[in-house]
Each structure stands twice: as C-alpha cells, then as structure tokens.
C-alpha cells in the first residue's frame, strides 16, 4: 500500500513556512506608517472567521529564493462573507515589494475577479501598491491589462469596490477608476498616475503625495473618491455599510431590510424647511431625512459637486437611490461636476435595480465662460442621457424651482419619469420670474413712472400665474400636487406600484452617451 505520510509531511512543512509570513516585523513595518497589514484589513472587512484564502502559496514568477514573505506574491486573495453574504476580496501587501503588481500577483487578482463575475458576488480590492512591478517589465503591464478587462466585463454585473489604503500609483489607479465606488483613508492613502517626483522632473513643480492625490483632494476637487474616512477601520466598516444596500449582482434585487421603528423624525414639520422667500437657501438633506426610513440615508461623494446630493436610503425598508438638488450650494444649479456626479450615480442605480427618487429644486444650469468652455453642454447631456436611459422606477418630487433645461433634465415625465409630483411651493416655468419679466416686460417697465414698483408687481403676477405647479398639473406634466406631509406615503405607494415595471430590451449594441 502507498505510504501517504511523506505527502502530509510536505503539507505540514508548507504550513509552517506559511505562518512565517507574518512575523512581528511584518506588522511593525506597516503600523509604523500608520497603516494596517493586508491580513488585519481583511479581518475587519469580513464577518468573523469567514475568510478563506486561495493561492496562498503562489510564488513570484522565476522566484528562486527561500523568503516566506514572497509566498502569495504580495497579495492576499480569497473569499468570505459580509453581513452573511458572499464576497470576493484581494488585499495587496505593501510589505512585499511595495505591493507592486507582478505577473502572479496579477493572475491571482484576475482569478478573484473571474470567480466574482461567474458566481455573481461583489469584488472588493484593498489597494496598497507602488504600481507595475518594475523588475517584471511588460509582463506586469499585461497583468494590469487583464485586470482592467475583467473590471470592464464585471461593470454592471457585480458591484466592484476599491479601497485605497496606501499608495495607488501608476497602473494601480486605473482598476479603481473602472470600479463602482472608491473609498480612501485620510493621510495614508493617495492616488496618482504620476507621483510628485515625476511632476518635479517634467514640470518643475513642487508638490507632495497628499497635495497631489490625497483623500481630501480626491473627495472634493477631482471627485475620484466617493467615500473618505479618518482611519482604516472606519473605511472598511464603510464598505460593509455600503454593501448592505446593494444586491450581489444585476440579476438580484437589493436586499429588503426588516427594520422596525423606521418612521423618520420630524415629518410633521417637513413643510417648514423651505423658506418663504424662494431665493433663500435650505439644506435638502433635512428634507431627505424626513422622507426616508429613520437614519437610513447614506450619502455618496459627499464632499464633491455639492450642488447635487446623491446617496442610498431605504423607504419602507426597500432600497432607493436619491438625487437631490442642494439649494445651499450654488443655489442648487447644475454645473459640470454635479451633472457628472449625478449621471454616474443614476447609471449605477439603473445597473443594479435600485429605484431612483429625484428631489428637485434647480434654478438652471450654472452660467459662465468657465462652464461653457469646459463643455457644460456635453457634461449636462450626460445627466439627460443617464436619466432617459435608466429603466428602473423613477419618481421626481418638485420641491421648489424647476426651471428651463434643468426641469427637463431632472427626470421630467417626458424624459421617462414614471411619476412627477410637485409640492404647492413648486415653481415650474421656462425661467425664473426675475429673468422672465426682464425679457417679456422690458419696454413696459422702461416707460413706467415707477419702473421698480412695476417690475416687482409683474414678478409677483408671474409667480402667481405662471411659476406654480398648477399649470403643469392641468396639462398632465405633473401627476399630482401633494402636501409635503403626505410625500412619504405617496412615494411608498408609487414605488410599490412601479415594482412591476417592465423593461424593454433593446436590440441596439449600446447608446453613445456623451463622454
Ligand atoms: C517594484 C517597488 C515598486 C514597483 C515600490 N517598490 N514600488 N518594487 N516595483 N513599482 C518597492 C521598493 O523598492 C521598496 O523595496 C518597497 O517597495 C517599499 O518602497 P519604498 O519606496 O521604500 O516605500 P515608500 O517610501 O512608502 O514609497 C512608496 C511609493 C514608492 C510612493 C509607492 O515606492 C514609489 O514611488 N514607487 C514607484 C511608483 C511608480 O512610479 N509606479 C509606477 C510604475 S509604472 P525594498 O526592498 O527597499 O523594501 C506603472 C505603469 C502602469 O504602474 C500603467 C498602466 C495604465
């Protein structure tokens, strides 16, 4: 009979070497930089004891040494659970060659992506990497190419989440850019295509990693990062929270919560939030929090393009996506950044069966040379395209201003909005009263004995006769004028009806969204 002991001996020896990966120095090197190790991160991210590692013994290409740190080729890959649902995960290990991407490292990540795509589970990448492994040359570039291809194949099929917890330099930035959401940790995470040294060399400009591509920059200026947190633990817990709103793939629907006590606080004074003077700002988040289930609003890209608010929430325990104009920033106008931000969010919701609620208070597109020259025409069209194409249930509530092109964009009924409701405070017109009176009554005002008094009375008349919800209601452009206090109930009923919304499959290959 064959003696299997020799095989088991080899297995046990391997196990011994495997544990040598994680000596004290392994932890100390990362901790000294204010970072956690790859394995500690996985531990926080996943449900307790759920992680199963794969390819732990993979060695770098052509590796001939005997360093246990090389096991796994600088990336820990595997699967586990978040809130009892399966996920695939990879975590780059900066301790081995700066988390750089060699051939085997890349193949391991691709295997995780393949598994996620074939089984329909989200893929989460924990990035801490110096980019393409310089020693492996073209092979490491090809490794990135394979990862990018998988990112694109998975886009719209499974949620893909990137968590930047250290450097993401060179090739390391483009996989995150192809995924659905990017998380970053303040101070220790940074992302750039070319780092400060190259910037100095090419442009003779002095900068730092933080100033060039830190979490604050990417969450406010570039919009690359969707979520930022002060430390790694909160960043990883943020990923867990985000996943609680998402289905595992594009065939499933988002998970339905079973929370009790979901009634939002302050519903009774919701109508008091909008000021009497329609030129005064207010915080639309106060309205959101009075409409959706208590404490359920989870804002995305909070610090970027703040004239629009996007985020996930629950309404009667069902997940919805929210797009709301924010009057307290730039009067809620649509500019390039806010159009891009909202368009991408709408497309994400559409891909994953998340119904969309639009809360509208928008005076128009932001005027100006800067915006026009930077192509507000094309960028604004992205939002139009995204809303028009989205086949998930879509409801708009016009809270106050809905003027001109911006009215059309924000999921108006001829653009495919399933229901358009308006509050009595809604002002729906081609333009605001001041602008309209200036154009329509210029001669009359100039000829008047008291031009200012006439102008004011004409503005009032326009508000009463034109800029209100009732004309749109009479013509069927608005389905119902509703009271603020009844909005939550109206929305629950309307979204319930729309659950059966039928999606027509198109025979075309794809549309040509203005990019
Ligand atoms: C191989 C690398 C590496 C890389 C870092 N290391 N980056 N090894 N290939 N790309 C190694 C270092 O040699 C070092 O090894 C260890 O990782 C830690 O690096 P340090 O520099 O000591 O760490 P730190 O000071 O924290 O700086 C981190 C860093 C820096 C900012 C990421 O290492 C860096 O600038 N690396 C290069 C970044 C870069 O230009 N990447 C682009 C590659 S080109 P030892 O043995 O000393 O510990 C690319 C193109 C793809 O990615 C494009 C596709 C679209």
Residue 315 pLDDT: 98
Digit-coded pLDDT (tens) for 170-202: 889 999 999 999 999 999 999 999 889 989 999
Pocket of ligand 1 (CB under 6 A): 97-98, 100, 130-134, 141, 144, 167, 169-171, 174, 195
Which DSSP symbol is given to 257?
A: P
Class of residue 69 by CB neighbours under 10 A (exposed 0-12, middle 13-18, buried 19+): middle
* Ranges 4-8, 202-206, 387-391, 489-493: which has the least confidence: 4-8
- CB contact set of 29 (below 8 Å; sequence gap of 6+): 95
**CA neighbor of 279 nearest in space, from 473, 465, 427:** 427
- In this structure, what token pair is assigned to residue 270? 């919701």
Q: Is the pLDDT of residue 2 over 70?
A: no
H or E element at residue 79: strand 75-82
CA 261 to each of CA 3, 176, 207, 254, 265: distance values in angstroms, whole numbers, following the listed order:
63, 37, 50, 20, 10
DSSP character string of 387-449: HHH--S-EEEEEEEEEEHHHHHHTT-GGGT-SEEEE-TT-EEESS-HHHHHHHHSHHHHHTSS
What mean pLDDT is predicted for residues 209-216?
Answer: 95
Taking a C-beta distance cutoff of 8 angstroms, is the pair 266, 484 a contact? no
Digit-coded pLDDT (tens) for 127-153: 999 999 999 999 999 999 999 999 999
DSSP character string of 211-239: HHHBHHHHHHTS---SEEESSHHHHHHHH
Residue 379 pLDDT: 96
- Distance, in Å, from the CA atom of 405 to the CA atom of 452, rounded to the nearest integer, reads 29
**Hey, how many other C-beta atoms are within 10 angstroms of the C-beta on 304?**
21
Q: Is the pLDDT of residue 217 over 80?
A: yes
Question: Would you call 171 a catalytic residue per the annotation?
Answer: yes
Digit-coded pLDDT (tens) for 313-346: 999 999 999 999 999 999 999 999 999 999 999 9
The CATH classification number of 17-243 equals 3.90.226.10
- In this structure, what token pair is assigned to residue 481? 């004028």
With cut-offs at 50, 70 and 90, classify the pLDDT of residue 17: confident
Taking a C-beta distance cutoff of 8 angstroms, is the pair 306, 326 a contact? yes
**Catalytic option among 171, 195, 214, 223:** 171
- Give the torsion sign (CA, 492, 497, 500, 502): negative
Probe residue for ligand 1, chosen from 74, 98, 99 as the CB with the greatest number of ligand atoms within 8 Å? 98
- Distance, in Å, from the CA atom of 126 to the CA atom of 357, rounded to the nearest integer, reads 31
**Catalytic option among 156, 295, 405, 435:** 405
Digit-coded pLDDT (tens) for 250-302: 999 999 999 999 999 999 999 999 999 988 999 999 999 999 999 999 999 99
Look over the chain and give the mean of its residue pLDDT values, rounded to a whole number. 94
Q: Is the pLDDT of residue 1 over 70?
A: no
Q: Is 436 helix (H, G, I), strand (E, B) or coil?
A: helix
What mean pLDDT is predicted for residues 42-55?
Answer: 96
Question: Would you call 98 a catalytic residue per the annotation?
Answer: no
Question: Which residue's alpha carbon is nearest to atom 37 within ligand 1?
Answer: 130
Give residue 265's Cα distance to chain centre.
26
Question: Would you call 38 a catalytic residue per the annotation?
Answer: no
- Distance, in Å, from the CA atom of 248 to the CA atom of 236, rounded to the nearest integer, reads 18
Residue 219 pLDDT: 97
- Distance, in Å, from the CA atom of 47 to the CA atom of 256, rounded to the nearest integer, reads 20
Q: Is 123 helix (H, G, I), strand (E, B) or coil?
A: strand
**Catalytic option among 343, 402, 406, 472:** 406
Bridge partners (DSSP) of residue 398 are 360, 422
Domain coordinates in residue numbering, the chain: 17-243, 267-430+468-493, 433-466
Digit-coded pLDDT (tens) for 441-493: 999 999 999 999 999 999 999 988 888 999 999 999 999 999 999 999 999 99
- Distance, in Å, from the CA atom of 33 to the CA atom of 447, rounded to the nearest integer, reads 73
**Hey, how many other C-beta atoms are within 10 angstroms of the C-beta on 349?**
25
Distance 193 CA to ligand 1 centre (A): 13
With cut-offs at 50, 70 and 90, classify the pLDDT of residue 8: confident
Distance 36 CA to ligand 1 centre (A): 18
What architecture is domain 267-430+468-493? Answer: Alpha-Beta Complex (3.90)
Give residue 375's Cα distance to chain centre.
22
In this prediction the pTM is: 0.95
**Hey, how many other C-beta atoms are within 10 angstroms of the C-beta on 381?**
17
Q: Note whether 17-243 and 267-430+468-493 share their fold.
A: yes
Question: Would you call 169 a catalytic residue per the annotation?
Answer: no
- Distance, in Å, from the CA atom of 467 to the CA atom of 180, rounded to the nearest integer, reads 39
What mean pLDDT is predicted for residues 55-61?
Answer: 92
Question: Which residue's alpha carbon is nearest to atom 4 within ligand 1?
Answer: 133
Question: Which residue's alpha carbon is nearest to atom 28 within ligand 1?
Answer: 130
């Amino acid at each position: 009979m064959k003696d299997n002991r020799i095989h088991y001996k080899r297995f046990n020896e391997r196990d011994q070497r495997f544990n040598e990966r994680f000596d004290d120095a392994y932890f100390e090197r990362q901790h000294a930089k204010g970072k956690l190790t790859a394995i500690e991160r996985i531990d926080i991210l996943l449900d307790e004891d759920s992680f199963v590692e794969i390819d732990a013994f993979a060695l770098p290409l052509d590796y001939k040494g005997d360093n246990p740190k090389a096991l796994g080729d600088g990336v820990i890959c595997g699967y586990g659970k978040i809130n009892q649902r399966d996920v695939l995960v990879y975590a780059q290990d900066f301790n081995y060659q700066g988390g750089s991407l060699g051939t085997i490292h890349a193949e391991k990540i691709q295997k995780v992506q393949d598994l996620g795509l074939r089984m329909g589970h989200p893929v989460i990448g924990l990035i801490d990497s110096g980019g393409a492994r310089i020693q492996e040359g073209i092979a490491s570039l090809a490794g990135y190419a394979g990862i990018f291809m998988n990112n694109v194949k998975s886009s719209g099929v499974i949620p893909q989440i990137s968590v930047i917890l250290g450097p993401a330099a060179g090739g390391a930035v483009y996989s995150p850019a192809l995924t659905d959401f990017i998380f970053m940790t303040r101070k220790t995470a940074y992302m750039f295509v070319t780092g400060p040294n190259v910037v100095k060399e090419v442009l003779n400009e002095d900068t730092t990693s933080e100033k060039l591509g830190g979490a604050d920059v990417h969450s406010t200026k570039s919009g690359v990062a969707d979520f930022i947190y002060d430390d790694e633990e909160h960043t990883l817990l943020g990923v867990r929270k985000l996943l609680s709103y998402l289905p595992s793939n594009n065939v499933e629907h988002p998970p339905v919560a079973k929370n009790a006590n979901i009634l939002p606080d302050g519903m009774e004074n919701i109508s008091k939030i909008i000021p009497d003077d329609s030129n005064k700002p207010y915080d639309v988040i106060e309205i959101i929090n009075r409409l959706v289930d208590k404490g359920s609003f989870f804002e995305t890209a909070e610090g970027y393009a703040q004239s629009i608010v996007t985020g996930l929430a629950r309404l009667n325990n069902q997940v919805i996506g929210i797009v709301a104009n924010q009057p307290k920033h730039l009067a809620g106008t649509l500019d390039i950044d806010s159009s891009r931000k909202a368009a991408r969010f709408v497309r994400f919701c559409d891909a994953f069966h998340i119904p969309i609620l639009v809360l509208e208070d928008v005076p128009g597109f932001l005027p100006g040379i800067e915006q026009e020259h930077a192509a507000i025409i094309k960028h604004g069209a992205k939002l139009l395209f995204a809303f028009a194409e989205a086949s998930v249930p879509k409801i708009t509530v016009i809270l106050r201003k809905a003027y001109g092109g911006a009215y059309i964009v924000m999921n108006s009924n001829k653009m495919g909005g399933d229901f358009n409701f308006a509050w009595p405070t809604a002002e729906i017109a081609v333009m605001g009263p001041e602008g309209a009176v200036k154009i329509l009554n210029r001669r009359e005002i100039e000829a008047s004995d008291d031009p200012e008094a006439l102008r004011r009375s004409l503005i009032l008349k326009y508000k009463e006769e034109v800029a209100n919800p009732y004309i749109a209601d009479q013509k069927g452009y608005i389905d119902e004028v509703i009271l603020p206090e009844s909005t939550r109930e109206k929305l629950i009923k309307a979204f319930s009806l729309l659950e059966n919304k039928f999606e027509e499959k198109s025979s075309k290959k794809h549309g040509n969204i203005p990019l």
